[in-house]
Structure formats: structure tokens, C-alpha cells
Amino acid sequence: MPYLTTGLLSNTLVEGDRQSSTLSVNISNYDTSAVAIQIEGFFQSGTEKVKYVEEFFTLTAGTVVLKNYFVSFNAFEFVFFVSSLAVDVSVWSKDAIGNLTPIHLEMLKQVSDQEGYSH
């Protein structure tokens, strides 16, 4: 099962506002069958990551889903577990008024089986 991560993203205040307030996630299933998707979201609290999002769902073949998550934290990370390599996950952020923010137009990093996953 592929593991994808945004890595820990800084979201500091700029002139009193967060650079990003919403994270949008677009998931496309290009497989010929349904796939399982798990999403975990974390925010940084001191030296610890605290899980605040945990979703598990299936996505039928040839479909797309858009998810939006609140990310008004100093730092956050999202991890995606997908049951097929034919699933595409893209991530971008928006500011408080809904404008796309280039600061968090991140490429997801695939975590190999050798690296494992810890949170």
C-alpha cells in the first residue's frame, strides 16, 4: 500500500494571518476497481504531532473526490495511504478568503517500505 506525505509544512503568521487556512486534497482513482483510501492529518504542538484528521473510505473506479481540511496551525502534515498505484493525490492550500496560496503547493513524497511510517 503506497504511503504519501506532504511532510511537515510550516504555516506561520504573516501580518497577523495564516498563510494557509484550508488544505484541499483532490484524489483521482484511475484504477479499474474500487480502492481504499486513508487520510491522516496532524498539527504540531510543541515537539509532538497531534492527529486531528482520520478518514477511511473507498473510491470507485474512475471517480474523483475533493476534500477540504482546516489547517490554521503553525505547522501541519497530511499522510495518505492508498491501496493502488493508479490513484493520484494532489494537494494545495487556500488563504482565509479562498485564494490559492503558492506556499503550500506541495508535491507529495512517497514513503518507501524500507523507510516505514511513524507519527
pLDDT in tens, 23-81: 999 999 999 999 999 999 999 999 999 999 999 999 999 999 999 999 999 999 999 99
Residues 93-97 have a mean pLDDT of: 88
109 within a domain of the structure (yes/no)? no
Q: Which of 29-38, 40-49, 84-93, 106-115 has the lowest mean pLDDT?
A: 106-115
118 within a domain of the structure (yes/no)? no
21 within a domain of the structure (yes/no)? yes
For residue 11, give every residue at least 6 positions away whose Cβ sits within 8 Å of its Cβ, in sequence order, or none.
18, 19, 20, 71, 72, 73, 74, 75, 76, 104
60 within a domain of the structure (yes/no)? yes
**CA nearest neighbour of 75 among 6, 27, 28:** 6
Residues 96-117 have a mean pLDDT of: 61
Between residues 23 and 119, the one the model is more confident about: 23
31 within a domain of the structure (yes/no)? yes
The conformational region for residue 96 under phi > 0 = left, psi -120 to 50 = alpha, else beta, is: alpha
Average pLDDT, the chain: 86
Task: Please give the Cα distance from 109 to 100 (Å, whole number).
Answer: 21
In terms of residue numbers, what domain contains 73? 3-97
> Which CATH number is 8's domain given?
2.60.290
Q: Which of 17-21, 41-45, 73-77, 115-119 has the lowest mean pLDDT?
A: 115-119
Task: Please give the Cα distance from 108 to 90 (Å, whole number).
Answer: 7
> What's the number of domains the chain is made of?
1
